[in-house]
A and B are shown apart, each in its own frame.
Chain A
Amino acid sequence: MTQEVKTYTVPTMADMAASGEEPEILFWVGCAGSFDDRYKRVTIAFVRILNHVGIKFAVLGPEEGCTGDPARRAGNEFLFQMQAMSNIQVLNGYNVKKIVTACPHCFNTLKNEYPELGGNYDVIHHSQFLQGLINEGRVRVKDGESFKGRRITFHDSCYLGRANKVYEAPRDVLAALDADLVEMKRVRANGLCCGAGGGQYFKEPEAGKKDVNVERVEEALGTGADTIAVACPFCMTMMTDGVKNKNKEDSVRVYDISELIAQGQGL
């Protein structure tokens, strides 16, 4: 049996504009998706899915910049608005209508905070996008890894869940796998933060008796899951660090939902 050699491509908006084309959707990669070694794997997994289903997409590439979310939440409104307006200039320049992103912080900022500064787009999170593809039958989890007998627990991201009430989409995506889904006690609107939001990711935590990610990972491990599924780059790092803190990195893995779907598809 010959292995089919797949070639994945990542078009940029600049390329598309040069050839007079417009993509269906802009994939907003985000800083973590661009620079963080672990989260680059998520970006790649999602791009492979996009390629596989044949969606006409593009990325901004080097023209993308931080949305300004961490600066705004830390209190630096000037910096946030500088970032926002620069990005809006770029996005409006390309006449962008629809954006998908794998980062709930970018999602929240682009969706809820850019309109007031002149950036109006239809913004969805990659969990919603994947949910749509699965519902339409465009993504089928076959040909890849089997998840039979594996236990997966989903950790809600605050900026996807409480902030924007997206609770079901990532769970629906995971339901497409043949794994056992187990829930932690604090889920959905009552989900416990990973400890990264509000600029916490970029500084040491204040003095306390425990780190927030350790508290959350203890809860996740309590479900007996071998896989912790996340849908946010910062949750990804916090949960991975928490698992290491508990010396469970050999038996428990942290994956983004798009990676699990890509694995299931053998991409």
Chain B
Amino acid sequence: MEIFQQILFVAALAATAWYITKRIKLIARAINLGRPENRFDHADERLKTMLLVAFGQKKMFANPLVGVMHFVIYAGFIIINLEILEIILDGILGTHRLFAPYITPVYPILIDMFEVLAFGVLAVCVVFLCRRFIARVSRLQASRHRELRGWPVSDATIILTAEILLMIAFLTWNASDSVLRDRGVGHYGELQGIVPDFLISQYLKPLFTGFSDTALVAYERTSWWLHILGILAFAVYVTYSKHLHIALGFPNVYFSDLQPKGEMQNMPEITKEVQLALGLPVTTEADGAQANDNGEQPPAEVGRFGAKDVQDLKWINLMNAYSCTECGRCTAACPANITGKKLSPRKIMMDTRDRLEEIQQGWQTNGPDYRDEKSLLNDYITAEELNACTTCQACVNACPININPLDIILQLRRYRVMEESQAPASWNAMFSNIENNMAPWKFSPSDRFNWADQVNDAN
């Protein structure tokens, strides 16, 4: 019986590891569709940003109450993983609370801490469900935000419910285990005097006092299996879900933009054309003048100007898309969205990920070199959305993990204007004014200094 459980456990573990590896490879391949860009520079600054923003959750505390609640789930996730280690080893070796005899004095302290966190996670998940469905926080409502309709709302509900169930399984498992230990049943009894009652689960013990020994052992085994299989299944689920942010949030912050938010990235491939047009000496690549801030050289061949599809974006844009957990702080801060325009920065990120997942599915059904006819621009993101952006960077500022929706918007705009000449008519007029009059308006350049004539006039 015991060996059968061990074999089953190892098989479940191996299957999960194999499947997750496959998923990681697929996601990595999708992210690598993006154009290269060196984000391995300034390691000190990047590390500092990651410690503050990812580990320290700095930006989550913009709303301190929500910040604390999110921190409980985050700390719970990180720290309860220590307990998972024991559970996994118990599963493989067929042992029961493997660590308890070796670290007897600290063992209850550790489990007490896990239980407090587990209870915290459970409570916060309940509050988060209430925020979605009872308090109806605006940025989380599908009725208000079309990008949330359907799967995204289910995804969020599944995640919160799964976490609640996992925590219930963990706490009741401890409780049923304690009752079995008290009754001295089988190997459970061996822990008498080594493992005491725990901080939270001791209050759940009365639930199990009416159980027979057999029923109790059955519950103990079931909750143990549900807890660990639940965790394994959840780990697989996460790779399909917005909840991937628990893994990608950290690297995403590490690789995030370091330059001032107002700075738009230069297009070195255009510099050469402009130098030729103006009759200026062309700075060659060897001069390094065309290398961008990160010191990398532009690609040898000139691709598209701007971005039409995901492969025209940079890999960090695509990692951003996989890291987004659809919290909607960007959209709640967006002036265009606040005033009822179609643009939603969150939708830009969700569209980018949806497009990547569509490409992945194409690979899986039609082979790894498959290319479809669709594109991020037009099939997912429309001109109306792009044109509504004021480039105010409120979305970039609002994101707790430094995702940059604006960068994608601007690259798509570049494609529309430079490759398709699809600017709104009044923008074309502005362009021709700049070109001909050196100002966005139709004034004669020779009148530019006329204001100085009024400098001594009365106010």
Q: Which residues of A contact B (CB under 8 A)?
A: 6-10, 12, 29, 31, 33-35, 40, 43-44, 47-48, 59, 61-62, 64-66, 68, 70-79, 81-83, 85-86, 89, 108, 112-113, 116-118, 158-159, 162-165, 189-193, 195-200, 202-212, 214-216
Contacts of A71 in B (CB 8 A): 430-431, 434
- In the bound complex, what is the Cα–Cα distance between A243 and B426 (angstroms)? 25
Residues of A within 8 A of B455 (CB): 8-10, 44, 47-48
What residues of A have a CB within 8 angstroms of the CB of B264 in the complex? 72-73, 113
- Which B residues lie within 8 Å of A70 (CB)? 430, 434, 440
Contacts of B441 in A (CB 8 A): 31, 35
Assuming the A-B contacts A79-B435, A200-B390, A206-B342, are A108 and B271 also in contact, with contact meaning beta carbons closer than 8 angstroms in the complex? no
B289 CB contact (under 8 Å) in A10, A118, A202, A215: A118
Collect the chain A residues with CB atoms within 8 Å of residue B446's CB.
62
A191 to B262, CA, bound (A): 15
Report the minimal beta-carbon distance from A114 to chain B, rounded to whole angstroms: 10
The answer to whether A81 and B270 have CB atoms under 8 Å apart is yes
B121 to chain A, nearest CB (A): 29
Q: Which residues of chain B are within 8 angstroms of A47 by Cβ–Cβ distance?
A: 452, 455
In the complex, the answer to whether B388 meets A205 with C-beta atoms within 8 Å is yes
The reply to whether A190 and B333 contact each other, CB–CB distance below 8 Å, is yes
> In the docked arrangement, what's the CA distance between A205 and B389, Å?
10
Known: A7-B456, A71-B434, A199-B427. A82 touches B278 (CB 8 A): yes
Assess A116 versus B292: contact at CB under 8 Å? Given A75-B414, A210-B339: yes
C-alpha spacing A35/B341, complex, angstroms: 31
Known contacts A31-B441, A86-B278, A112-B260, A75 near B270 by CB under 8 Å = no
CB of A75 within 8 A of CB of B418, answer yes
Known: A71-B434, A199-B430. A116 touches B293 (CB 8 A): yes
Q: Per a CB cutoff under 8 Å, which of A9, A202, A212, A215 touches B430?
A: A202
Which residues of chain B from 281 to 303 have any CB-CB distance to chain A below 8 Å in the complex? Answer: 283, 289, 292-293
Chain A residues, CB < 8 A from B416: 75
Known: A158-B391, A206-B387. 4 other contacts (CB 8 A): A61-B452, A62-B446, A164-B262, A198-B391
Known: A75-B417, A202-B427, A202-B440. A62 touches B456 (CB 8 A): no
B423 touches A75 (CB 8 A): yes
Q: Please, what's the 1-or-0 string for B429-445, where 1 marks a CB less than 8 Å from any CB in chain A?
A: 11100110011110101
Chain B residues closer than 8 Å to A202, beta-carbon distance = 426-427, 429-430, 440
- Residues A74 and B388 in contact, CB atoms below 8 Å apart: no
Complex interface: chain A residues within 8 A of B270 (CB): 77-78, 81
Q: Is the CB of A75 within 8 A of B456?
A: no
From residue B62, how far is it (CB to closest CB) to chain A in Å? 8
* Minimum C-beta distance from A90 to chain B (A): 11
Contacts of B449 in A (CB 8 A): 12, 34, 59, 61-62
Assess the A116–B423 pair: CB atoms within 8 A: no
The verdict on B340 contacting chain A, using a C-beta distance below 8 Å, is yes
A73 touches B391 (CB 8 A): yes
Residue tally, chain B, CB below 8 Å to A: 74
Instruction: Assess the B443–A35 pair: CB atoms within 8 A.
Output: yes
Closest chain A residue, CB of each to CB of B383: A206
Nearest residue in A to B292 (C-beta to C-beta)? A116
B residues less than 8 Å from A159 (CB atoms): 262
Top-6 shortest CB links A-B: A163-B262, A198-B391, A209-B340, A75-B417, A65-B438, A208-B340
B293-337 interface bits toward A, Cβ cutoff 8 Å, 1 = contact, 0 = none: 100000000000110000000000000000000000000010110
A163 & B260 in contact (Cβ 8 Å cutoff)? yes
17 A-B contacts, Cβ less than 8 Å apart?
A: A8-B455, A12-B449, A71-B431, A72-B264, A74-B430, A77-B305, A79-B435, A89-B278, A116-B292, A118-B289, A197-B390, A198-B389, A202-B426, A202-B427, A207-B342, A208-B341, A212-B336
Residues of A within 8 A of B100 (CB): none
Q: Nearest-CB distance from B413 to chain A (Å)? A: 4
Q: Which of B37-45, B218-226, B367-375, B392-400 contacts A (4 or more CB under 8 A)?
A: B392-400
Question: In the complex, what's the smallest C-beta–C-beta distance from B59 to chain A, in angstroms?
Answer: 10
User: Is A195 in contact with B341, judged by CB distance below 8 angstroms?
Assistant: no
Please determine whether A85 and B390 come into contact, CB atoms closer than 8 angstroms.
no
Are A76 and B423 within 8 A (Cβ)?
A: yes
| Residues of B contacting A208 in the complex (Cβ-Cβ under 8 angstroms) | 336, 339-341, 388
Is B338 an interface residue when CB atoms closer than 8 A count as contact?
yes
Given known A-B contacts A35-B447, A202-B427, A65 and B392 have beta carbons under 8 A apart? no
Q: How far is the CB of A39 from chain B (nearest CB, A)?
A: 9
Q: What distance in Å separates the Cβ of A189 from its nearest Cβ neighbour in chain B?
A: 5
Q: Is B193 an interface residue (CB 8 A)?
A: no
Give A116 to B288 CA distance when docked, in angstroms: 10
Residues of B within 8 A of A204 (CB): 426
Contact in complex: A73, B274 (CB < 8 Å) = no
Contact B274 A203, beta carbon cutoff 8 Å: no
Q: In whole angstroms, what is the CA distance A43 to B257 when docked?
A: 35
> Within 8 Å of chain A (Cβ to Cβ): is B266?
yes
Residues of B contacting A192 in the complex (Cβ-Cβ under 8 angstroms)? 335, 338, 394
- Known contacts A117-B271, A162-B394: A112-B431 contact under CB 8 Å: no
Determine how close the nearest CB of chain B comes to the CB of A40; give it in whole angstroms: 4
Report whether A108 and B418 are in contact in the complex, using a CB–CB cutoff of 8 Å.
Answer: no
Inter-chain CA distance A44–B456, complex, in Å, is 9
Known A70-B430, A164-B260, A198-B390; contact A77-B440, beta-carbon cutoff 8 A: no
Q: Is the CB of B439 within 8 A of A65?
A: yes
Q: Contacts A74-B431, A192-B335: A85 and B278 contacting too (C-beta < 8 A)? A: yes
Whether a CB of chain A sits under 8 angstroms from the CB of B451 is: yes
How near does chain A come to B447, taking the closest CB pair, in angstroms? 7
Q: B426 to A117, Cβ gap below 8 A?
A: no
B263 at the interface (CB under 8 A from A): yes
**Contact of B448 with A by CB under 8 A:** yes
How far is it, in angstroms, between the C-alpha of A66 and the C-alpha of B426 when the chains are bound?
17
Q: Are B384 and A206 in contact (CB under 8 A)?
A: yes
Cβ of B83 within 8 Å of any chain A Cβ, yes or no, is no
Q: In the assembled complex, which residues on chain A have CB atoms less than 8 Å from the CB atom of B440?
A: 31, 66, 70, 202
Measured in the bound complex, the distance between the Cα atoms of B267 and A193 in whole Å is: 27
Known: A206-B384, A210-B339. A74 touches B413 (CB 8 A): yes
A176 to B306, CA, bound (A): 46
Residues of A contacting B397 with CB < 8 Å?
Answer: 162, 189-190
B343 touches A206 (CB 8 A): yes
